[in-house]
Structure 1
Amino acid sequence: MFKKGVCEKSLGDYEPARQTLERVVREFPRRSFFLSQLADTYALMGEVHLAKVFFREAFFHNPAEIELAFLESEMINRLISRVKELGYEPPLLQEWLPVYGVLYGVFTVKRELKSLEYGKLRQSIYALEGELTDEHADRRTIIPRLLNRYFWLMDHYRINNEEPLKIQDTLYKIRLLDEKIYELYIH
């Protein structure tokens, strides 16, 4: 069914592609490759809001799973080009796309996390922070993943009007991780 949806999208049959890919995503809601194709279809249909929602979700779950060569929309390809200009190539490119997607105003659609999602986000952050202390860990991959999760955490705090101290603590962690990203994020 997924291949059918991608073929329909490639042929410009966007409405049937959307319907097919939505069915696939209902069955596999956390598969980044499927989510990215649905997002790309929405972008090609001119449904920018929904495209941003699904691209952000896709790049949150597993950016390494997303095959950039299969993305056709101008919105995502402009972002890919801009991040490539910064010197990132696959597979690191996929890891940095959600970070710069937030900074460049592409991944602007936020959503409230369910309590279970918030718990999983906190666990994921804790695990990645732990990995950073391992001298054998690949920091090049961990840092953008952690930054992306910090951005989601900041969104959660803002949506839920959390105390400013939590926001300041997360901003401090972003700053420690990457001063340049911190400066871009706060400005």
Structure 2
Amino acid sequence: MVKVAVLDYGSGNLRSVQRALEHVGADVTVTSDPYEAIEADGLLVPGVGAYAACMDGLNKIRGPRIIGQRLAGSRPVLGICVGQQVLFDKGVEHGVETQGCGEWQGVVDKLDAKILPHMGWNTVDAPAGSEMFAGLNDDDRFYFVHSYAVQSWDMPVDEFIAAPRVTWATHESARFVAAVENGPLWATQFHPEKSGDVGLHLLRNWLGTLA
């Protein structure tokens, strides 16, 4: 049974994530302990609420260092919702700019949409060859609840490194990053733990990369 640490930094639906992971067969520990977070087979970084508050909580437990140390050793990390957003360079909310973990280039800002938050079920446009969405259908829907997202992808292409697979979604006319697969670093703007059977399937796909 693979061991997954859910990073507890004061933000996120920790118990619902824990239950979903246990349902698909993981041995789950909710922890803020750096050793447990680094040594687990997989690390899940949740996140709910304001970008700045999430980064403040992460910084208090040295979350960016934990994430960076895992990735330096090619050890899998999965970010969910604001747990995806904080992996980018920075977030801008209400005119306040907050530095993120900087794993990916990009800015999290307010969706260009009249109806916010974007709350409910949406399809996504996954790229060919996606491991995250393997076995799922184009018309499958995932649960979103957010007002901010990354709306452009500007990562440079490196001919020696496989390009990240980026999944997109659209709310009204606003197109935004719904998920990213980048080697051991995966993330989703939606909540797999709230997305029923398709979300559980996605979590099984992630666990399959941990063995």
Larger RCO, structures 1/2 (Cα 8 Å, 6+ apart)? 2
TM-score, scaled to structure 2: 0.28
Larger % of helix: which?
A: 1
Q: TM-score, normalised by structure 1?
A: 0.31
